[in-house]
A and B are shown apart, each in its own frame.
Chain A
């Protein structure tokens, strides 16, 4: 069966086979191109086209209703290729003339005619196993593709499949030998009327050289190809779905972030996603439905738009009605399905949006609890007990150490309005005797104390000087020391200089706090620590810090009352 085309040549209509049409079209194009180099070329080409038409009408008059490829070849034989017609070229080989047989001439050796074309790399469809890449290489290098295929299998195994990616890349990059001219170029044969005609005939009559080797290796390769094709298809579909799914997921995440707008910027990426069940928010069926129908809809829209544009530009013919109809129906269906799925998802999100907020709140509480638990654990590990804590979230900080050492931990409490209770103590056992407790501490208000209580309940304390977060006793001392020491080489000097330099030479407000005259009784019990809940004074600050607690025996034993 052959497709049949009606052509109009110089005002006459002819029925012509599709392959014959291809050849004739190529012939007339070539002629036109050949003579276009001459000033009167168009006229000559028109005359030749006219002659072709005349010969075809003669054939029709003699009874052949349809122009076949053989007819076209005869016409070309009679009228001659453009190269033979050229006046400036050396004359045609008249050897054939003396044979006198014009209708069935022996095919001239192809290499004599036309310009010898360079071999070009194409994918060889006629001998393909998978994509025709290796068959094409075989044509290009003149090797039996079987060896290339075996080599490729070995490569694929040895390279752990990397070679497959290379193959796919080549598959994409190398063009297929789609037209008869491509096939000729692929084989390195010249592209001219005769060769092209032969190629078209051989392709159409099925006498092409497609090899149906039933050898063991070939059937094995075939099996491998079928498997590989299947695997590639599955992989490709999966990749598309995964890519699309990821993209959709990201969009959903962003929408979600906007919906749960409450300080989402810093929450959304630190969020404990496990705490939120996305499945209840994004029902799987509408999500996938939206994804698939959205893809189909997008593809069809682009297809229809391109078709419409081509139609308007007159670059393409009218699509068959049934095809246009099914495409339109599919497009509308995918559009409706997308809308329905989107509606379902949006409805679900609106319904479940309270879940977001609740979950966010829960999450934040959970996180704070975790931070508190972490701080508590750290306190305990260092022998501290959280005696009182109200409205205090963090008990430890590490940003503003008086030596400027980042990461050194110290006790710390803060509340924006100071409405908090904070008391951290150590319960220890020491030998009975007199002791002095020193600590480094700071605060921004009155009423914070370093204290010690002995077994008998006697309480000694010293208030933390309220320097705020700049200056401080330790810093002042260090600054004075640095100013006084003109030599500046001792280890102590270096330490002091470091302290003086803290916070751009401003200090962080730390002072040395000394609690003296601590008497530990025979029970050896002592409790010391830091608090803002003093029994004797009222707290009016918002934060306090303390560290470097040191209990030393008071050897002087003098009852010098000082703070």
Chain B
């Protein structure tokens, strides 16, 4: 197993958490999420995001409403649901745990 693959697996595990973090900060379009994730180098191909969003929506963790756009068709405007907030809180705890553990091991 090469290092790229390992990195990729780590990022992949984080992707869901990060998307939800972004949405907690503010509701946004899929294209906004993409540009922020790309900036953070969390995804390579944009298509990756869509299956994830659809899955989270189907799990009632997030919802969207159609927003009219100045150019082109109406766009999906995503936001977290209450369930999603609760879910994210649990993820936060898990992440803190994990970071703590990792730091502990590293030091």
Binding site for B on A (CB under 8 A): 10-12, 31, 35, 38, 40, 43-44, 47-48, 50-51, 53-54, 57, 61, 77-82, 84-87, 90-97
Q: Which of B51, B55, B71, B72 contacts A85 (CB 8 A)?
A: B51
Chain B: CB-nearest residue to A43: B54
Chain B proximity of A264: nearest CB distance (Å)? 78
- Assess whether A54 is in contact with B48, with CB atoms less than 8 Å apart: no
Q: Which of A51, A77, A81, A85 contacts B31 (CB 8 A)?
A: A51
Chain B, interface SS category: helix
- Assess whether A91 is in contact with B5, with CB atoms less than 8 Å apart: yes
Q: Which of B30, B41, B47, B55 contacts A82 (CB 8 A)?
A: B47
Binary flags per residue of B44-71, CB closer than 8 Å to A gives 1, else 0: 1111101111110010000000000001
- Assess whether A87 is in contact with B51, with CB atoms less than 8 Å apart: yes
A12 and B34 alpha carbons, distance in the complex (Å): 21
Chain B: CB-nearest residue to A95: B4
Q: Which residues of A contact B44 (CB under 8 A)?
A: 80, 84, 92, 94, 96-97
A35 and B11 alpha carbons, distance in the complex (Å): 23
**Number of B residues contacting the other chain (C-beta, 8 Å)?**
28
With A48-B47, A50-B75, A54-B75 known, 16 other A-B pairs at CB within 8 A are A12-B73, A38-B51, A47-B30, A47-B54, A48-B50, A51-B47, A54-B72, A61-B71, A77-B45, A78-B46, A80-B45, A81-B47, A91-B5, A91-B9, A93-B8, A94-B11
Chain A: CB-nearest residue to B58: A40
Q: Which residues of B contact A94 (CB under 8 A)?
A: 4, 7-8, 11, 44
Q: Taking the complex as formed, is B24 at the interface, i.e. its CB lies under 8 A from any CB of chain A?
A: no
Q: Which residues of A contact B73 (CB under 8 A)?
A: 10-12, 50, 53
Chain B proximity of A303: nearest CB distance (Å)? 41
- Assess whether B8 is in contact with A91, with CB atoms less than 8 Å apart: yes
Chain A, interface SS category: helix
A484 and B45 alpha carbons, distance in the complex (Å): 117
Q: Which residues of A contact B31 (CB under 8 A)?
A: 51, 54
Q: Which residues of B contact A92 (CB under 8 A)?
A: 8, 44-45, 48
- Assess whether A47 is in contact with B76, with CB atoms less than 8 Å apart: yes
Q: Which residues of B contact A44 (CB under 8 A)?
A: 50-51, 54
Contacts A11-B72, A40-B54, A87-B55 hold; do A93 and B45 have CB atoms under 8 A apart? no
A78 and B37 alpha carbons, distance in the complex (Å): 13
Q: Which residues of B contact A48 (CB under 8 A)?
A: 47, 50
Q: Which residues of A contact B52 (CB under 8 A)?
A: 87
A43 and B48 alpha carbons, distance in the complex (Å): 14
Chain A proximity of B103: nearest CB distance (Å)? 25
Contacts A10-B73, A78-B45, A84-B45 hold; do A51 and B4 have CB atoms under 8 A apart? no
Q: Taking the complex as formed, is B12 at the interface, i.e. its CB lies under 8 A from any CB of chain A?
A: yes
A81 and B47 alpha carbons, distance in the complex (Å): 8
Q: In B15-43, which residues have CB < 8 Å from any A CB?
A: 30-31, 34, 41
Q: Which of A50, A78, A79, A91 has the most CB of B within 10 A?
A: A91
A536 and B76 alpha carbons, distance in the complex (Å): 129
Q: Which of B7, B34, B48, B53 contacts A84 (CB 8 A)?
A: B48
Nearest first, the 5 closest Cβ-Cβ pairs linking A and B are: A80-B45, A85-B47, A91-B8, A80-B47, A11-B73
- Assess whether B51 is in contact with A35, with CB atoms less than 8 Å apart: yes
Chain A proximity of B8: nearest CB distance (Å)? 4
A57 and B73 alpha carbons, distance in the complex (Å): 11
Q: In B53-107, which residues have CB < 8 Å from any A CB?
A: 53-55, 58, 71-73, 75-76
Q: Which residues of B contact A86 (CB under 8 A)?
A: 51
Q: Which of A80, A90, A96, A97 contacts B48 (CB 8 A)?
A: A80
- Assess whether B72 is in contact with A79, with CB atoms less than 8 Å apart: no
Q: Which residues of A contact B48 (CB under 8 A)?
A: 80, 84-85, 87, 92
Chain B: CB-nearest residue to A12: B72
A85 and B46 alpha carbons, distance in the complex (Å): 8
In the assembled complex, 19 residue pairs joining A and B whose CB atoms fall closer than 8 Å, in A order, are A12-B71, A31-B47, A35-B51, A40-B58, A47-B53, A48-B47, A51-B47, A53-B72, A53-B73, A54-B31, A54-B75, A77-B45, A78-B46, A80-B44, A80-B45, A80-B46, A80-B47, A81-B47, A91-B8
Chain A proximity of B37: nearest CB distance (Å)? 12
Q: Which residues of A contact B46 (CB under 8 A)?
A: 51, 78-80
A50 and B75 alpha carbons, distance in the complex (Å): 9
Chain A: CB-nearest residue to B45: A80
- Assess whether B72 is in contact with A57, with CB atoms less than 8 Å apart: yes
Q: Which residues of A contact B55 (CB under 8 A)?
A: 40, 87
A43 and B76 alpha carbons, distance in the complex (Å): 12
Q: Which residues of B contact A91 (CB under 8 A)?
A: 5, 8-9, 11-12
Q: Which residues of B contact A31 (CB under 8 A)?
A: 47
Q: Which residues of B contact A87 (CB under 8 A)?
A: 48, 51-52, 55
Q: Which residues of B contact A11 (CB under 8 A)?
A: 72-73
Q: Which residues of B contact A95 (CB under 8 A)?
A: 4
Q: Which residues of A contact B51 (CB under 8 A)?
A: 35, 38, 44, 85-87
- Assess whether B4 is in contact with A79, with CB atoms less than 8 Å apart: no
A524 and B44 alpha carbons, distance in the complex (Å): 132
A78 and B34 alpha carbons, distance in the complex (Å): 11
Chain A: CB-nearest residue to B71: A57
- Assess whether B50 is in contact with A51, with CB atoms less than 8 Å apart: yes
Q: Which of A11, A38, A57, A80 has the most CB of B within 10 A?
A: A80
Chain A proximity of B12: nearest CB distance (Å)? 5
